[in-house]
Chain A
Amino acid sequence: MTDKPSAAGKTRRQLYEDRLRRRSMLIAASSTLAVFLAVIILVPMSPGWDRVKASFFNWDVFVKTFPKLLEAFKLDVMIFLWSAPAIVILGLLVALARDVRSPALFPLRILGAAYTDIFRGVPVVLTVYLIGFGIPGLGLPRPLNSPYIWGSLALILTYAAYVAEIFRSGIESVHASQRSAAQSLGLSDADSMRFVILPQAIRRVIPSQMNMFIALQKDVALLSFIGPVEIFRQAGVFKSLLANFTPYVGAALIFLAVTIPATRYADYLLAKQNRERS
């Protein structure tokens, strides 16, 4: 078969595919439109819509509270910023501890395993409560009883357990032949890990780790239960003050503004990595 160029300079295969593409775009657009129209028309027809609209989507309340919420969100970001590096370091140490072979360090291995089991097994909010109320309850002096310290510690301990497991899966995904090659050169076990295995392992798990840190940014809101007036708590204050739920919607929008780009970026990295490996 010869594809003779048509008047537009396209082969008949290209014309056919153009036609297909136009048709699927048309179908996608009209079905999306139909769904949106249904939502816009049907939801306001529900009996409680006016009440929901007034208490969740009150524009005046939104405008009034949004700047304060944004201000409070800074605290969420700060807690995130000091917790994240601690989580990476602790997670990496735990992952390495679970990999040691020397019998003298066996207790480290057990501790590592017990640690990840416990902190992955307890709901984050419970850990926040237990550590956030429990440790200051020991009667520590002024700066040391801050809920910021102990709330952050609860987040660090929980997330480092997950992060450690992801690092470990990365370490195990590096083929044994890489370790053989490193050892055959006379490198010590520690050097093989540090220069050969870990750099490859860390690179592979970056997208998964990013997803953990997106989850962390959201879970910072749990610290509101033990005191800090971060965005969720601030929204709660406004809710009580104004008897209106709109501040929660504002808070959700602020979270989304951060998490959606981050999630998209993590997905992009993952897709890129999958392409490279195939």
Chain B
Amino acid sequence: MPKLSLKNVVKRFGEKTVCNGISLDVEEGQMVCLIGASGGGKSTLLRCINLLENIEDGEIFLDDTDISIPGLDPQPVRRRIGMVFQSFNLFPHMTAAENVMLAPRRVYKRSRNDLRAEITDLFIRFGLADHMNHYPDQLSGGQQQRVAIVRALAMKPEVMLFDEITSALDPQLVGEVLDVLRLLKDSGMTMVLATHEMGFAREAADKVCFLSNGEIIEEGPAKALFETPQQPETQAFLARAIK
């Protein structure tokens, strides 16, 4: 039984079909990378999985439970699925530690004192121990993005979604964020990434899907997809993307 399973997901914005019948299985502990040109539907697909967007048709299963039933309360689902965004989206008026504690405090009704030790461990684990009490604008982009990851992890999600999380970073800061992803993968987290980091996808992903115009054109193990792509469109994209 896959941890996360999409069946024929259709998402439209007005006349424009952004996801055109996407089906995808993600096994427990797997890292799946979505690649493809911007506007291909990667980000929208992730937002649909986190119920930030309602899908027009199809189903999304988390542990065999349909989470895409219209009218379903999205909040319990979102607690189980963490999401990290391209633009970090830290709350600028709170310190890093407050950013991380807000959701566990409000949703699980846990006190700051109760959370402190656990949160400190997370900050240490991701090399942020010195930055707990800094505000987002006092942190580098890479640090902000790692705090955003810690913030999502503090809710103890079962699945993590990453929406081009290195695209807004200076090239020299990308590495530290990718290291965090490797660390997460090693800890057995189930992850879905939309990414432009082809090298990383090739090295770390269990499965890679190439999306174009709202459809999965080709999917397979990273090695196979990068070395022997079958579809001409995939070949053309990879030729352009890997230089």
Residues of A within 8 A of B (CB): 177-178, 180-188, 191, 195-196, 199-200, 203
Contact = CB atoms under 8 A, between A and B. Distances in A.
Contacts, number: 61
Given A177-B87, A180-B52, A185 B103 contact: yes
13 contacts: A183-B52, A184-B78, A184-B83, A184-B152, A185-B82, A185-B102, A185-B103, A185-B152, A187-B75, A187-B106, A188-B75, A195-B91, A199-B93
Contacts of B199: none
A185 B85 contact: no
Contacts of B74: 183
Contacts of A200: 91-93
B71 interface: no
B183 interface: no
B166 interface: no
B146 interface: no
Contacts of B81: 184
Given A177-B85, A185-B82, A185-B152, 19 more contacts: A180-B85, A181-B89, A181-B91, A183-B52, A183-B74, A184-B52, A184-B81, A184-B152, A185-B79, A185-B102, A186-B76, A186-B78, A186-B79, A186-B107, A186-B155, A191-B107, A195-B91, A200-B91, A200-B93
B212 interface: no
Nearest to B90: A181
B89 A195 contact: no
Contacts of A177: 85, 87, 89
Given A178-B89, A196-B91, A200-B92, A184 B75 contact: no
A185 B91 contact: no
Contacts of A203: 93
B151 interface: yes
Majority secondary structure, A binding face: helix
Interface string B69-110: 000001110110111010101111100000000110011000
A184 B50 CA distance: 7
Contacts of B76: 186
A174 to B, nearest CB: 10
A183 B78 contact: yes
A23 to B, nearest CB: 40
Contacts of A188: 75, 106
Given A178-B91, A184-B78, A195 B52 contact: no
A185 B156 CA distance: 10
A19 to B, nearest CB: 40
Contacts of B85: 177, 180-181, 184
Nearest to A191: B106
A196 B91 CA distance: 7
Nearest to B108: A186
B89 A185 contact: no
A100 B47 CA distance: 23
A25 to B, nearest CB: 37
B155 A185 contact: yes
Contacts of B82: 184-185
B156 to A, nearest CB: 11
A34 B209 CA distance: 77
A256 B90 CA distance: 43
Q: Which of A180, A185, A199, A203 has the most CB of B within 10 A?
A: A185
Contacts of A181: 85, 89-91, 148
B93 A186 contact: no
Contacts of A183: 52, 74, 78
Contact of B107 (A178, A180, A185): A185
Q: Name the 3 nearest CB pairs between A and B, nearest first.
A: A181-B89, A186-B79, A185-B103
Contacts of A186: 75-76, 78-79, 103, 107, 155
